[in-house]
Amino acid sequence: MAYTLPELPYAYDALEPSIDARTMEIHHTKHHNAYITKANAALEGTDLASKPIEDVISDLSAVPADKRGAVRNNGGGHANHSLFWTVMGPGKGGAPSGELAAAIDAACGSFDKFKEEFSNAAATRFGSGWAWLYVADGKLKVGSTANQDNPLMGEAVAGIAGTPILGLDVWEHAYYLHYQNRRPDYVSAFFDVVDWDAVAERFAAAK
């Protein structure tokens, strides 16, 4: 069965002022949708098309060689954006609690240090890509990947390996209409809409 565009769990204007409604709408209906269309085209006729996209990108070697690049880029784009929408929410922000907070402290020293490390990963990713908080061997790590690579793709492809629980899109299309060249302002506003309950659920499932 072909992949379909997941509905946003909130309205396009729900994340204002961190992310403006126009950006959200174009990002969801144009960019994310285009990745889905292209991923479907690449996987058509293979027996991989019935698997969750996360499973497919976790084993790109199972994808026919002539489709691998397209699945890496567009399957990655579908998986990454699907995660992104669900780790944000209106009226969120604040700080994590419980086991997730303890794991972040253990990995980074403190929540403030984590924010610094994550912001730095997002700011220094040259070109297009994503900043991640991810689980590797039961521990939390902060990193970034290029383009639509995802830690699920493994170190040989993505440079880092693990299960992402928080992702921030730093392609220019994610922020240009509102922030233009000011990526650091976008990164800092992102923390006002992070849904730490959703991140904690992903952490519980991944560790």
Binding residues (CB under 8 A) for other proteins: these are: 26, 30-31, 34, 73, 126-129, 146-148, 171-173, 176-177, 180-181
Nearer to other proteins, 61 or 181 (CB): 181
Q: 52, 58, 54, 57: which is closest to 72 by C-alpha?
A: 57
Burial 36-48 (b: 16+ CB within 10 A, else e): bebbbebbeeeeb
For residues 60 and 10, give the distance between their C-alpha atoms in angstroms, rounded to a whole number. 32
Smallest gap from residue 146 Cβ to other proteins (A): 7
Nearer to other proteins, 169 or 195 (CB): 169
81 is in an annotated binding site: yes
Smallest gap from residue 1 Cβ to other proteins (A): 26
Nearer to other proteins, 117 or 169 (CB): 169
78 is in an annotated binding site: no
Helix (H/G/I), strand (E/B), else coil: 127? coil
Residue type, 164: P
27 is in an annotated binding site: yes
User: Which bin fits 95, alpha (ψ -120 to 50), beta or left (φ > 0)?
Assistant: beta
Nearer to other proteins, 96 or 143 (CB): 143
Smallest gap from residue 179 Cβ to other proteins (A): 11
Tell me the backbone φ, ψ of residue 113, rounded to 5 degrees.
-65, -40
Distance of CA 141 to the CA centre of its chain: 14
28 is in an annotated binding site: no
Binding site listing for Mn(2+)? 27, 81, 169, 173
